[in-house]
Amino acid sequence: MVHIAKLFSNGGSQAVRLPAAYRFDGASEVYIRQDPATGDVILSRRPQDWSGFIEALADTPVPDDFLTERRTSPVAVRDPFNGWHE
């Protein structure tokens, strides 16, 4: 089902009045991004802490051979002050 949200001006900004079904209860901020292909604006809940990430990480199976054959580049030896003048 498609719902419609109202747009309104708030100072110099444009704001969206979200229908009750789309409320971000308990949140004071959300992430906002725009899909480059469609231009759609997407709001996402901003986590209050890292607990959700840690929980998702713990629930994600990692194969035993993960990164066993990773490519490694030789360490480049450089003079960090090369080209620097006072």
The length of the chain, given as a count of residues: 86
> Is the pTM value of this prediction over 0.75?
no
Question: Considering the domain boundaries, does residue 71 fall inside one?
Answer: no
* Residue that wins the pLDDT comparison between 81 and 70: 81
pLDDT of residue 39: 95
Question: Considering the domain boundaries, does residue 57 fall inside one?
Answer: yes
Question: Considering the domain boundaries, does residue 85 fall inside one?
Answer: no
Could you give the 3-state DSSP secondary structure of residue 56?
Answer: helix
Question: Considering the domain boundaries, does residue 10 fall inside one?
Answer: no
Domain membership of residue 41 as a residue range: 25-61
37 band by pLDDT with thresholds 50, 70 and 90: very high
Question: Considering the domain boundaries, does residue 80 fall inside one?
Answer: no
Domain count, the chain: 1
Question: Considering the domain boundaries, does residue 40 fall inside one?
Answer: yes
Tell me the two tokens of residue 79: 């003079």
Question: Considering the domain boundaries, does residue 37 fall inside one?
Answer: yes
Return the sign of the alpha-carbon dihedral for residues 51, 36, 5, 13: positive
Burial label for 43, CB within 10 Å (0-12, 13-18, 19+), is middle
Chain CA centroid to CA 60, Å: 18
